[in-house]
Structure 1
C-alpha cells in the first residue's frame, strides 16, 4: 500500500491546527488535539513551530499569584493579528469595494469607489483597481510592502490556480490573465477569485455558516454564482474553476437550451422595462434591483411577473443542488433578493415542489443581504486561507 507523502501530511496537519486556532481560539493544546484528532505530541510540535513563526500567540488564563486560584494558569493559543495583512476586493460593473484586514480577518480599513468599469479597456480597469488597493492600504496606515497578498473577487468563470478570467460581464475580452497584470502593477502577489467563492468563505469565517463544515452559497447578482464548501474547504473544478450557476440547463424549449440565466439573470428580470427614464438610469448605476423593488411595491405587473418567473427558476435550481450535495444549509445572497416577496415566495414554493421527498427538511434555506464590505472581506479570507496553507519561516510565508 502506498503511504501518504510525509511533507504533504505535515502541511495538512499544520493547516488543520492553524485553522482550528482561528475558529476556536483562544484554545488549549489539549482542545486542539481533541478537535483535530491529532496526537498531543503532534499538536505540540506544530504549535511550537507556529509560535516560532509568529503566527500564533500565547495567552495565560488564571494567575498563580491569586491565592484563590489553584494550580498553574492555563496556556491558551490564539492567532497573532499582526502576523500578516491582506487586501480583499469586490469588483462589480459599477463599483469597487476594498478592505484591508489583519491575519484574523478583522477589517482595518475599507473603501468604496462608485465607478462604472464594465466594458472598459483592461488597462483602464487595472488602473482603477490599482488606485483603489493603494488608497485603501494607505487608509489603514500601511504601505503595500506591509501587505502579503491581494485577492480580487469578480463575477464570471475564473481559474483560481492561474488567475485567468475565462469570461466575466465586466471585461470585453475573454481569457484575461488579470492576476499577472495586477501582480506586476502592485508588486504584490495577487489572486483572482470568483466573487461567489469569496462570499462563501465570508459566511464560513464570519457569517451564517461559522458552525458548519459543509454548505452551499448561491449568489444572485449580475451573474448567478455557486459556492460549495466541503470539509471546511471550497470545492473548485478542474484548474480551480469557479461555477457559473447561470449556465445550468433547466430544460429544452422552442429556441433550444433553456439556461437558468435566461429566466433569473438580472438582465432578463429588468430587460422588459422602458429604455429611458429613471429606471434606466438606476440600472446604469447598478441600482436596478433596488428600484425594481419600489416598482414591485407599486404593483408593476411586468416586474412582478418577471420576479415570479425568476423565483421559480432559482427554486428549481436550488432543489437540484440539494439533490446533488444534500448540504445542511443553503445561503442565498445578492441583489435579486431586493425583488422581495413575489420572488421569495415563488422560490420557496418551487423549491418545495422540486425537492425529492427523501430530502425534505435536509437543507435549511437562509436569505442574507450581505453588504459589499462583507463580500470584500470574503476575498480577504481567500487570501488568508492561502497564507495559512503556505510554508512559513520566521520572516514570512515562503511562497
Structure 2
C-alpha cells in the first residue's frame, strides 16, 4: 500500500470513519479522532463531506452539552435513508431475500422454499430476479431506489468479477452469475460466497462484533470458510472466496485421497446411511437431517459412526485453519450442526488432539446452530453495504467487471 498517495489515504480514512460510525451507532467527532488516531482537522473535513453527501447525519443530544462551550453535544450516525440494498442468499432448497437500509436495518424479507440445485443457470437467475423484485415491493420501494444487490452462493466465487467458479447449485462451472442477474434487474450485482457473507454479518450484527479477527466455517452442502482480518474480509487472487471442502484429510484403504467434503458435508453424512424410502424422499426435499436425528435417538451404530467421522474430519480441518491463521475464534455454523452434541463433541475433541502444542489456547471454537433464514439475506446485504462504503483495501470492495485472461 502506498501510504504517500493522498487520495488513497483519504479513502482509507473515509472508510475508517464510516466503519466507526456504523459500529458505534452514534459517535462524536472527538471519539472518532481518538479511535481512528486522526487529527480533529482531518475528521472534521471528512465528516463534513459525508454529511453534505447525505451519508451520515448529525444528531444533537438534548440536555447533554459540550463542557467547554455549553452547546448541545453533536453526535454522528449513519443516515438510514442514504441507500437501500438487497441481499439474496441462494441455497439448494430455496432463496432468502432481504432489503435493508444503509444502517443494515431489515425493511422486508422473504423466503422462497423451492429446489434451486441443478436447475439450469438461466432458470436460477429468473428465480433470483423474481425474489428481488418481490422483496423490493414488500419493502414499499422500487428497483430505482435500490443501490445494489449482493447474491451469495455456496462454493468458490470470484467476488471482483461476479464469476461463480464452482457451486453445488449449478451443474456447470465458471458462471458469470452476477452479470446474468444484473442484466435482468438493471442494478449492480455483486456475488459472494455464503460463508464470507455470514462472517461479515457476524462481525456487523452477530456474536463477533467485539473482535476484528476470526474465522467462520459453514458446514452445509458445501463447506465454506470466511475469514475476517482487521475487520475486513480476506480473499484470494481475483477476490476468490474460500471453500475448504477440497481439503485433503487422509486416504481411504484403496489409497485414494479423502477430502473434507467426502465425509463432512450434509450430503456425505446422508449418503453413508441406509435410508428408508421416506428418509430418501425427505433428504431430497431438504429434511434429511431430521431423520438422522431420529435414528441417532434410537442409538443406531451406523448413524453415530457417520456423525463421528464427520466430526473428526471437521476437527482436523478447523485445526488446520487455526494453524494457518491463528484466529482468536473459529465460529462453526451450518445445517450439519443440527446433528447436535455428538457432532460438536467429536469436533472439539479432535481439534484439541491434533492442534500443534504452541497454538493450544490461542483459538476458541464456538458452535452456532443455524438461525432464522433472514440471517442469510442480511449477511448478503452486509456485503452490499460494505461495497457502498467503498473500502479502498485490496481485500474487500465493490465487484468490478474485469477482463478475463
User: Could you say which TM-score interval applies, normalised by the shorter chain?
Assistant: over 0.9
Q: In the TM superposition, what is the alpha-carbon distance from 1:308 to its structure 2 partner?
A: 0.4
Structure 1's consecutive aligned runs of 4 or more residues displaced over 4 angstroms after TM superposition are none
Aligned to 2:149: 150
The farther-off stretch of 175-184 and 246-255 is 246-255
For residues 214-234 of structure 1, what are the alpha-carbon distances to aligned partners after superposition, in whole Å with 9 as ceiling and x for unaligned? Answer: 000000011000011001110
Aligned to 1:116: 115
Q: In the TM superposition, what is the alpha-carbon distance from 1:174 to its structure 2 partner?
A: 0.7
State whether residues 198 and 376 of structure 1, in contact with CA within 8 Å, keep that contact through their aligned partners in structure 2: no
Q: Does 1:305 align with 2:305?
A: yes
TM-score (norm 1): 0.94
SS of 2:43's partner is helix
Q: In the TM superposition, what is the alpha-carbon distance from 1:288 to its structure 2 partner?
A: 1.7
Q: Does 1:47 align with 2:18?
A: no
Q: In the TM superposition, what is the alpha-carbon distance from 1:33 to its structure 2 partner?
A: 0.7
* Separation (CA, whole Å) in 2 of partners of 1:365 and 1:272: 27
Q: In the TM superposition, what is the alpha-carbon distance from 1:274 to its structure 2 partner?
A: 3.6
Q: Does 1:360 align with 2:360?
A: yes
Aligned to 1:200: 199
Q: In the TM superposition, what is the alpha-carbon distance from 1:3 to its structure 2 partner?
A: 5.3
1:212-361 correspondence to structure 2 within 5 Å: 212-253=211-252, 254-274=254-274, 276-361=276-361
The number of aligned residues is 391
* Separation (CA, whole Å) in 2 of partners of 1:311 and 1:163: 33
Q: In the TM superposition, what is the alpha-carbon distance from 1:121 to its structure 2 partner?
A: 1.1
> Residues 3 and 154 from structure 1, CA distance in 2 versus in 1: closer, same or farther, beyond 3 angstroms?
closer
Aligned to 2:395: none
* Separation (CA, whole Å) in 2 of partners of 1:291 and 1:185: 39
For residues 135-161 of structure 1, what are the alpha-carbon distances to aligned partners after superposition, in whole Å with 9 as ceiling and x for unaligned? Answer: 001000011111001111100111000
Q: In the TM superposition, what is the alpha-carbon distance from 1:390 to its structure 2 partner?
A: 6.8
State whether residues 308 and 346 of structure 1, in contact with CA within 8 Å, keep that contact through their aligned partners in structure 2: yes
Aligned to 1:79: 78
Q: In the TM superposition, what is the alpha-carbon distance from 1:273 to its structure 2 partner?
A: 2.8
Q: CA RMSD in A?
A: 2.0
TM-score (norm 2): 0.93
Q: In the TM superposition, what is the alpha-carbon distance from 1:2 to its structure 2 partner?
A: 6.8
* Separation (CA, whole Å) in 2 of partners of 1:153 and 1:255: 36
* Separation (CA, whole Å) in 2 of partners of 1:376 and 1:2: 36
State whether residues 12 and 391 of structure 2, in contact with CA within 8 Å, keep that contact through their aligned partners in structure 1: no
Structure 1: give runs of 5+ residues left out of the alignment: 392-396
State whether residues 90 and 96 of structure 1, in contact with CA within 8 Å, keep that contact through their aligned partners in structure 2: yes
Q: In the TM superposition, what is the alpha-carbon distance from 1:275 to its structure 2 partner?
A: 5.3
* Separation (CA, whole Å) in 2 of partners of 1:377 and 1:2: 34
For residues 86-134 of structure 1, what are the alpha-carbon distances to aligned partners after superposition, in whole Å with 9 as ceiling and x for unaligned? Answer: 0001101111110000001111111000000211111111111111110
* Separation (CA, whole Å) in 2 of partners of 1:26 and 1:384: 18
State whether residues 90 and 372 of structure 1, in contact with CA within 8 Å, keep that contact through their aligned partners in structure 2: no
Aligned to 1:209: 208
Q: In the TM superposition, what is the alpha-carbon distance from 1:281 to its structure 2 partner?
A: 1.7
> Residues 255 and 266 from structure 1, CA distance in 2 versus in 1: closer, same or farther, beyond 3 angstroms?
farther
SS of 1:208's partner is coil
* Separation (CA, whole Å) in 2 of partners of 1:179 and 1:364: 36
SS of 2:60's partner is strand
State whether residues 165 and 176 of structure 1, in contact with CA within 8 Å, keep that contact through their aligned partners in structure 2: yes
> Residues 363 and 390 from structure 1, CA distance in 2 versus in 1: closer, same or farther, beyond 3 angstroms?
closer
For residues 48-68 of structure 1, what are the alpha-carbon distances to aligned partners after superposition, in whole Å with 9 as ceiling and x for unaligned? Answer: 01001101111112338x9xx
> Residues 179 and 287 from structure 1, CA distance in 2 versus in 1: closer, same or farther, beyond 3 angstroms?
same
Aligned to 1:394: none
For residues 265-298 of structure 1, what are the alpha-carbon distances to aligned partners after superposition, in whole Å with 9 as ceiling and x for unaligned? Answer: 2221110334552211221111222332222122
Q: Does 1:132 align with 2:95?
A: no
Aligned to 2:381: 380
